[in-house]
């Protein structure tokens, strides 16, 4: 049954908060533009990152450096370690249910989402994802506001 009183409240939480996770390996994950996509730090070179993505429904996947060099670990039909890390961290951040629903993947209790992704390799827009990552980092460059922000009252902290 639809909860009508919920619909008539001002301060309900619509987006559940992300769960805390380690950010060093996979600093950025998002469910956007019809993909699970994100940025994975290179294990060997601190200046290099990989941009990885899995498309919803088709589960077509891609992985390349931010300079568009293809990832060497990627096979025609299997996921590289970057993609595996991306999927794992996305599940930590959003919960299995939300990620599986977004990807339209059929995952049962105790299943590993990675095993359910059987798409093929595709060419995805790494530059666009990388620029979204930079935009994401940009939030931390903005100054703190001292002074009233009454709009914040619509966004109380807390789980639900």
Residue 139 binds: one of Zn ion, other proteins, none (C-beta under 5 to 8 A by kind): other proteins
Closest C-alpha among 84, 83, 95, 91 to residue 53: 83
Q: Which one of residues 9, 44, 75, 110 is an interface residue with other proteins (CB under 8 A)?
A: 9
**Are residues 43 and 29 in contact, defined by beta-carbon separation less than 8 angstroms?**
no
**Are residues 61 and 78 in contact, defined by beta-carbon separation less than 8 angstroms?**
no
Q: Decide: is 33 part of the binding site for other proteins (CB under 8 A).
A: yes
**Whole-number Å distance between alpha carbons of 35 and 95:** 16
Task: Write down the residue that tokens 């940025």 correspond to.
Answer: 39
Query: What would the two tokens of residue 116 be?
Result: 């359910």
Closest C-alpha among 148, 124, 146, 134 to residue 62: 124
Q: Which one of residues 8, 108, 109, 115 is an interface residue with other proteins (CB under 8 A)?
A: 8
Q: Decide: is 63 part of the binding site for Zn ion (CB under 5 A).
A: yes
**H/E element holding 102?**
helix 96-103
Residue 8 binds: one of Zn ion, other proteins, none (C-beta under 5 to 8 A by kind): other proteins
Closest C-alpha among 86, 83, 138, 87 to residue 111: 87
Spell out, one character per residue from 91 to 130, where the chain touches other proteins: x when CB under 8 A holds, - when not: --x-------------------------------------
Q: Which one of residues 26, 71, 79, 99 is an interface residue with Zn ion (CB under 5 A)?
A: 71
**Site size for Zn ion (CB under 5 A):** 6
39-98: which residues touch other proteins (CB under 8 A)? 41, 46-47, 49, 93
**31 or 71: CB nearest Zn ion:** 71
Query: What would the two tokens of residue 86 be?
Result: 């991306």
The residues with which 30 forms a beta bridge, in sequence order, are 37
- Which residues contact other proteins by CB under 8 A? 2-3, 5-12, 14-15, 17-24, 27-29, 32-34, 41, 46-47, 49, 93, 133-160
- Which residues contact Zn ion by CB under 5 A? 50, 63, 71, 73, 80, 82
């Amino acid at each position: 049954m639809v909860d009508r009183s919920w619909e008539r409240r001002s301060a309900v939480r619509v987006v559940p908060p992300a769960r805390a996770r380690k950010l060093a390996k996979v600093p950025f994950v998002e469910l956007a533009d019809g993909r699970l996509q994100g940025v994975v730090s290179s294990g060997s070179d601190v200046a290099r990152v990989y941009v990885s993505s899995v498309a919803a429904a088709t589960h077509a996947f891609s992985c390349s450096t931010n300079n568009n060099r293809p990832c060497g670990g990627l096979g025609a039909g299997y996921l590289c370690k970057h993609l595996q890390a991306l999927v794992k961290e996305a599940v930590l951040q959003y919960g299995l249910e939300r990620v599986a629903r977004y990807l339209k993947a059929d995952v049962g209790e105790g299943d590993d989402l990675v095993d359910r992704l059987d798409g093929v390799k595709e060419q995805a827009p790494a530059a666009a994802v990388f620029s979204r990552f930079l935009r994401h980092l940009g939030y931390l460059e903005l100054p703190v506001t001292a002074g009233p922000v009454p709009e914040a009252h619509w966004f109380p902290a807390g789980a639900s």
